[in-house]
Structure 1
Amino acid sequence: MHGVLTNGPFNENPRCVAEFADRLRHSRTPYHSASIRHYSGSTGPTSTPKKLNVALYLTGAGVAVAGSGYYFFTSQSAATTTAVAAPPKQEKSPLDPKNFVNFKLKKVIPYNHNTSTFVFELPDNQASLLPVASCVVVKSSDPEALKDDKGKPIIRPYTPTSHPDLIGELHFLIKKYDNGNASKYIHSLKVGDTLGIKGPISKFPYQLNQFEEVALIGGGSGITPLYQILDYALPDKNNKTKFKLIFANTTEKDILLRERFDEFKKNYPDKFDVVYIIEKGDKNWKGDLGYITKDTIKKHVAPASAGDKVKVFVCGKLAAVAGKKAGYDQGEIGGILKELGYSSDQ
């Protein structure tokens, strides 16, 4: 949408307002046919894209028109009339894939006993525009802080949980580990502090409807990359892929983003299902107990014979499922998936 700044007789003459409204009612282009980019709003620990609700108001106080290319706002005192231009389309992310950029911590939202959402401010109301699926790496903004035993900066990968189109903010759901230097450091940050962030680092260039079935196998805080794919694909009305999430944790209270996955299951019952597995549960636990086993995979994941129709994403400390990783890469496939005949491509 484009707009101009307007002052003068239009605002000062109520008859002009009435005539403009009458012309609008007889226009061949309905106001709701405007092409509007969908941005997302914050909903607690995570964010999901929400459609902008644009309405037409014709009142004595003013006229707002969507779809005509302008917004006209008239104050109660009828002193001025202003048309506000929509911001130009953002072409570039404020993140840099080659250099660390310091971003200010805007707020911290506690999630559970050891996990919080850290919300960082993006400059000039920009969106991150991170591709799916990708992550970033972080380090301390203070060169003297967060070092290893050899004096080198500790750098760790994290996957944002906010939608790529969320303007002004970048969210990370981070669990604090007793032996995790980076997570403890981030949990020590106060609002106004900064963190060095570099990215995006592409992990898998996910495309809508690339596969008929996708299995997402996650453990603990390794859930965030899997959530990124689901949050991107499921709300898209053109999505035809069926997703199955197998999510393993120590206890029920450790299940991160559970409310979002339950919401996905409710909203997209034909496209999404989730299986929660915990090691320790009380008598009230109705889900699976124990660990991810060969039988678990055979029951919930399309067989290896499905070929390129199935894709399996694994994230977390799950060497028994997919084999040991090679740095940030998966490395040679192993574990249960290899035993069941899945290929590295799958």
Structure 2
Amino acid sequence: MNRSTGHRLLCELRRTTHRFYSQSRSQPRRTHLPRTLTFALGLGAIGCTSLYFFYPDPSRSAPTSAKVPLSPSHFTPAIVLSNELSGPDTKLLQVTVAPDLLPPNDPANPSFAPIWSVYIKDDDIQVERPYTPLEGIDERGCMLFWIKKYPKGEVGRWLHAKRPGDQIALRGPLATWPWKEGVWDEVVMISGGTGITPFYQLFHSVISRQTDQNTRFTLLHSSRTPADIPPPHIMDPLTNYAAENSGRFRLGLFVDSFDGPAAPSHLPKAQIGRIGRGAIEQSLGLSNAQDSWWTRIFGKTQPAKPVNGNILFLVCGPDPMISAIAGPYGRNFSQGPVGGVLREMGIPSKQVWKL
């Protein structure tokens, strides 16, 4: 369709629409639209559909290269090493890229922030989704992901079907959140479901290595049932470290219900119910220390302390949970204003980050 033809069609659409609504004020409502308007709307629908498929999308058009190092600008082939069931609708997926495709081992590389992700592309439908490597990437190019299969999650279902030896394509790394040492006195991480993965990555790269001795960390994690609690590969290091370093790292588990099999006995006892204001205030020592969940778990009394301006709240999980805790995202997945429980507590936006 050339420009002049499109202009005439637009003019005809405006005249027809004006006549239609002008007549509708004095005549009974018609049961169908005028033919010209129907035809024009049909062309519009076809145009929108064509726009969806042919409009240039950087992620769909990014090339795949096996000759240059990992980069957000292109996809890199990776080979599946293992894909093991880890719970209801979840798998631990291990992949590797060729060692000669790894970026230079430069600690100053901002892409490899303590929390970073890669996009994995479903080659069948050319859709990509971000995933967080649990332990980053090692010198052999190995990455481990905890993948949940959602009913309408195309890429998750596609990854669940992969077998050792299969090839996938990924691009990255992309920094999810830039951690800076010595800035915060305390960091409270609140997660649900697979939203724990960026926090485990932070645990693996910063917390467990004790690179920042001045910050105290708390992780509050919510699952639907005990069977949905993250697998031992994730939970065992968190639980063991919390038991041995309760002054530096605390862990609280929550479940919506106790339906189904019980959680392993060595894990902290999960509380029934969703993470709310009471749990967050307990993690900050704002309620009776003798009744706090870490005291019941580890038998150690923690002194109460007031809220101050050096506490950071990180929230990651399903959209309804993020909205309830910190308010929904803004337009185009921007941070948006603080809402939910944290707003009730008077926490300003500079102390909240939605991953």
Deviations 1:151-182 (A, max 9, x none): xx322111111234453311111111222211
Alignment match, 2:158 = 185
Alignment match, 1:306 = 308
Distance 1:266 1:294, change over 3 A: closer
Equivalent-residue separation in structure 1 for 2:195 and 2:254 (angstroms):
14
The one of 85, 88, 91 equivalent to 1:110 is 85
Do 2:70 and 2:102's aligned partners in 1 also have CA atoms closer than 8 Å?
no
Do 1:278 and 1:288's aligned partners in 2 also have CA atoms closer than 8 Å?
yes
Do 1:249 and 1:279's aligned partners in 2 also have CA atoms closer than 8 Å?
yes
Distance 1:107 1:125, change over 3 A: farther
Q: TM-score, normalised by structure 2?
A: 0.63
Amino acid at match of 1:215: V
Do 2:77 and 2:97's aligned partners in 1 also have CA atoms closer than 8 Å?
no
Overall identity of the aligned pairs, in %: 27
Alignment match, 1:223 = 196
Mark the runs of 5 or more structure 1 residues left unpaired by the alignment: 1-92, 147-152
Alignment match, 2:278 = 295
The one of 117, 128, 135 equivalent to 1:135 is 117
Equivalent-residue separation in structure 2 for 1:100 and 1:328 (angstroms):
23
Distance 1:116 1:193, change over 3 A: same
The 3-state SS of whatever aligns with 1:246 is strand
Deviations 1:203-246 (A, max 9, x none): 22112333110000000111101111111112324422111111
Alignment match, 2:237 = 260
Equivalent-residue separation in structure 2 for 1:127 and 1:233 (angstroms):
21
Q: TM-score, normalised by structure 1?
A: 0.65
Mark the runs of 5 or more structure 2 residues left unpaired by the alignment: 1-67, 106-111, 264-268, 287-305
The 3-state SS of whatever aligns with 2:155 is helix
Q: How does 1:61-140 map to 2 (within 5 A)?
A: 94-124=69-99, 130-140=112-122
Q: How does 1:43-54 map to 2 (within 5 A)?
A: none
Deviations 1:36-81 (A, max 9, x none): xxxxxxxxxxxxxxxxxxxxxxxxxxxxxxxxxxxxxxxxxxxxxx
**Residue 207 in structure 1 maps to residue 180 in structure 2:** yes
Alignment match, 2:207 = 234
Equivalent-residue separation in structure 1 for 2:217 and 2:138 (angstroms):
23
Structure 1 segments of 4 or more deviating over 6 A?
none
Amino acid at match of 1:118: L
The 3-state SS of whatever aligns with 2:350 is coil
Alignment match, 1:272 = 249
**Residue 324 in structure 1 maps to residue 319 in structure 2:** no
Do 1:213 and 1:302's aligned partners in 2 also have CA atoms closer than 8 Å?
no
Amino acid at match of 2:325: V
Equivalent-residue separation in structure 2 for 1:292 and 1:284 (angstroms):
20
Q: CA deviation at 1:302?
A: 7.0
**Residue 248 in structure 1 maps to residue 222 in structure 2:** yes
Q: CA deviation at 1:331?
A: 2.4
Equivalent-residue separation in structure 1 for 2:169 and 2:262 (angstroms):
43
